[in-house]
Structure 1
Amino acid sequence: MNPLTPEQIEEGWLLLFDNETLFGWSGDPGINWHVADQAIAASEGPIGLLLTTVRFADFELSLEFKGSPGSNGGVFVRCAEAPSDPATDCYEVNIADDHPQGFLSGSLVAHAPSNPGFSTTDDNWHQMHVSAVGNLFRVSIDGRDVCEFRDERSGWRPSGLIGLQKNSGELAYRNIRIKPLGSRELFNGTDLAGWREVPGGKSVIDVVDGSIHVVNGPGFLETEGTFQDFLVQFEARTHAPELNSGLFFRAERGTEQAPSNGYEVQIHNGFHEGDRNRPNNAGTGAIFRRVEARRVVADDLSWATITLLADGPQIATWVQGYPVVNWRDQRTPDPNPRKGLRLEAGHLSLQGHDPTTDMSFRRIRLAELPPKN
């Protein structure tokens, strides 16, 4: 079900394509984007894109592509929602054996040409790797470095969507995965510096074997800092079956009277009658009371890597690198996310849910998203 290896999960890789559906993508309706043979494919309709619904800043992107002879496609990175100019609205990694301006496969269109020296639209699968770190971009195809470009303009794009292009011919893309870069540790593995216990809680919270250990509840441990748009990855472990916990985000500062007014990424690994597609308490990765996880990926009594990306009203989560939630908050704005849409920065908060709580958290790392441009 999950093609990522344990090593890739530990490194923070995320699936952008689950091999089965277009979950997490949004495309031009006139193009016949579809899934065939565990690949995203298109062959009919106007020139257009299939885009992720959330932005990424610094990353490594890995995928495979296949094009029919004479076809033209591309992989767009740091892309605007409706790009009209590849020079200003995105960075387009081209897929083409012929181009009037010489931007062959691996080129950054309008920025830096490449010449891979071999055909890439030959009905065979080719591997592409793109790295974007600050204003430096590197592209390789089939293990060969084909393009390097540093955008020295003052208006270079620090973040944006990932896009797949259908220009002409038959195009297919598969094994699409991304590793976010540029995160910083929020937990030092030694003490609770940078965190505070919310007053009035019953949880016992301390550091054990390099992890935050939470026993009993209710209770909350929240960051002293606040975060608005960001990607956070952390590992969580239940120490008994079907425990309930969570990570709250964009939360108001906790008080004894209101300890957890925020959105909640649910942690609960139970599911109905052996069916992981039927979570029995929203499921790990759910945005609790808003949208359930579409699959329970994690197992109790084992460490699981959970990823949350909050990009304005658009929220996405992954568990073990597998995408489980893609949700847009369309409620009326309210300072309290329990009541409505909150776009303002807020605290992160680890939950001790009830007297049965016995949870551990570690490797909590966060990368903030820059403002949209």
Structure 2
Amino acid sequence: MRPFALILTLFAAAAFAQLPEKKAQEGWIMLFDGQTTFGWQNEGGGKWHAEGGVLVGEPEGPDGWLRTTTPFADFVLTLEFRKGEAGNSGVFIRSARDGAPHETGYEFQIWDEHPEFPTGSMVNHAPAKRVKLAPGKWHTYEIRALADSFQVSINGRRVLDAKDPKAKFGFIGLQHKEGQRIEFRNIVLRPLGLSSIFDGRDLRGWSKVDTPRAKEPPVWSVKGGLLHVEKGPGQLETEATYDDFILQLDVRANSSGPGHHPNSGVFLRGDPKVFWSGYESQIRNEYKDDDPTQPVDFGTGGIYHHQPARKIVAKDNTFFTKTIAASGRHLAVWVNGHQVSDWEDPNPEGNNVRQKQAKLTPGTISLQAHDPTTNLDFRNLRIVRLPKR
């Protein structure tokens, strides 16, 4: 993991950190962008801030934790941390929004001097092999969580193999201890357990949904492992339905020239055979005034009609990887590993998103053919359903 962490750090001085292209294609996402606390929620009153590619927990303030706004189930999580001489912190996983995070989920220790559960341990569950870490230096921490199995490596050395069935799903968090300064950087995650929903050979498992108003109905085809679409409007939807999940896919918007930015989207929790229903994660790599932070029409990764992408990361004529996490009212999207949206539906529960209702029940996933100028390719579509707490 060392080379990966170092590469990510080199980008941290830029406007936002970036993942190496290969890592983004493998499904890694950044939980910390190197510059802001976007995608995080402070719980308990501790003081956190971002500076120079580092997420800092300051000594001031009471005990607490900084948690992701997106919950996860099975994953590999890697990060770097730096602590003081008697540093005491930890990494929480699968924790609930409310309650003590080490009780509702798990705490993985950062405290070398703990007599029973030193750094790398699953606190109150399984001790790790003891390691001595130099204070003031950066160290790598890797946690692999798959079902009820957990593995921890510190600086590339395996220190823990454990099993526990308590928690299957929840938030990731960083512990703040009053009087202790703790620093984290290069916080990245790869979801595990995803299964393909497109075999690269044909459209089995998918259904076309056309609209009578289409003068040029979309043409969906499969060639060379790519799902290709031209013309529109229309959509291609899954025969299976999903409510809470993580979806990853590669997309290429094929532009015919500087003024052409193909418009498409991925619809979530749609009603079967109903045209363009549910939530939409936009695909449109266009922005205003040469400023990627000013997306046109919500921009790639934006939640259409609800939250624009905070930055256009993708480019036309080049494959980009999109990660969509849907859990209850919460939707989050990453493009090439960079989080561009983070939205919680505040509306009353119902079945029609367009009527300002929060749709929480299972629905189809659809690929949009927007208009007669549509020209896109999709590949590597894979998904994992998320468990309930």
How many angstroms does 1:238 deviate by?
A: 0.9
Kindly provide the CA deviation profile for residues 93-133 of structure 1, in whole angstroms up to 9, marking residues without a partner as x.
10002225x1111010001112333135x111111111001
Tell me what 1:204 maps to.
219
> Which of 239, 242, 253 is equivalent to 1:238?
253
Partner deviation per Cα, 1:53-108 (whole Å, 9 max, x = no partner): 1111110000000111112100111111123273x4111110002225x1111010
Q: Name the residue aligned to 1:62.
A: 78
Residue 343, structure 1, aligned to residue 360, structure 2: yes
Other-structure match for 1:125: 138
2:24 alignment partner, SS class: helix
Q: Is the 8 A contact 1:251 1:336 kept in 2?
A: no
CA-atom RMSD in angstroms: 1.3
Deviations 1:196-251 (A, max 9, x none): 00143611111122111111010110000100000000011111131100000001
Partner of 2:95: 79
Pairing partner for 2:196 from 182, 185, 189 = 185
- Can you list the C-alpha shifts for 1:159-199, whole angstroms capped at 9, x where unaligned? 11100001241101110000000000000100000000014
Residue 51 (structure 2) pairs with residue 41 (structure 1): no
Report whether the alignment pairs 1:325 with 2:341: yes
Aligned equivalent of 1:220, options 235, 238, 250: 235
8 A contact 1:265–1:287 mirrored in 2: yes
* Structure 1: distance between partners of 2:375 and 2:315: 15
Contact 1:57 1:370 in 2 (8 A): yes
- 3-state SS of 2:25 partner: helix
Matched, 1:195 2:209: no
Mapping 1:249-288, distance limit 5 Å: 249-255=268-274, 259-288=275-304
Amino acid at match of 2:221: D
Report the AA paired with residue 124 of structure 2. A
Superposed CA deviations along residues 321-340 of structure 1, whole A, max 9, x for unmatched, are 00000000001222012222
- Counterpart of 1:162 (choices 168, 172, 181) is 172
Structure 1 portions without partners, runs of 5+: none
Report the equivalent of 1:149: 162
Q: 1:45: how far off?
A: 1.2
- 8 Å CA contact 2:37, 2:49 repeated in 1: yes
Provide the rounded CA distance (Å) in 2 between the counterparts of 1:298 and 1:39.
25
| Separation in structure 2 between the aligned mates of residue 32 and residue 161 of structure 1, nearest angstrom | 19
TM-score by length of 2: 0.91
Q: Classify the secondary structure of the residue corresponding to 2:177.
A: strand
Q: Does 1:31 align with 2:43?
A: no
CA distance in 1, matches of 2:235, 2:18: 35
Partners of 2:44 and 2:65 within 8 A in 1? no
* Structure-2 separation of matches of 1:204 and 1:26: 44
- For residues 37 and 275 of structure 1, the distance between their equivalents in structure 2, rounded to whole angstroms, comes to 22
Instruction: Give the number of aligned pairs.
Output: 363
Post-superposition CA distance 1:140-167 (Å, at most 9, x none): 111111111111x4xx211111000012
What is the percentage of aligned positions where both structures have the same residue? 40
1:111 partnered with 2:121: no
Counterpart amino acid of residue 370 in structure 2: H
Q: Cα deviations across residues 251-294 of structure 1 (Å, max 9, x unaligned)?
A: 11124xxx111100000000112111111121100011110000
Q: Hey, what's the Cα distance between the residues in 1 that align with 2:82 and 2:278?
A: 44
Distance 1:132 1:266, change over 3 A: same
Contact 1:251 1:337 in 2 (8 A): no
Give the aligned residue type for 1:181: L
**1:312-362 Cα distance to aligned partner (Å, 9 max, x none):** 001100000000000000012220122221000100001000000011111
Instruction: Please tell me whether the aligned partners of residues 112 and 131 of structure 2 are also in contact (alpha carbons under 8 angstroms).
Output: no
Whether the 8 Å CA contact 2:244–2:328 is kept in 1: the answer is yes
Counterpart of 1:342 in 2: which secondary structure?
coil
TM-score, normalised with respect to structure 1: 0.95
Kept in 1, the 8 Å contact 2:112–2:130? The answer is no
Cα deviation code 1:6-53 (max 9, x no counterpart): 110111000000000000000125211111221111121111100001
Counterpart in 1 of 2:8?
none
Contact 1:39 1:174 in 2 (8 A): yes
Q: Give me the whole-angstrom Cα distance separating, in 1, the residues matched to 2:198 and 2:45.
A: 47
Q: Is the Cα contact below 8 Å between 1:63 and 1:173 reproduced in 2?
A: yes
Q: Distance in 2 between matches of 1:187 and 1:12?
A: 16
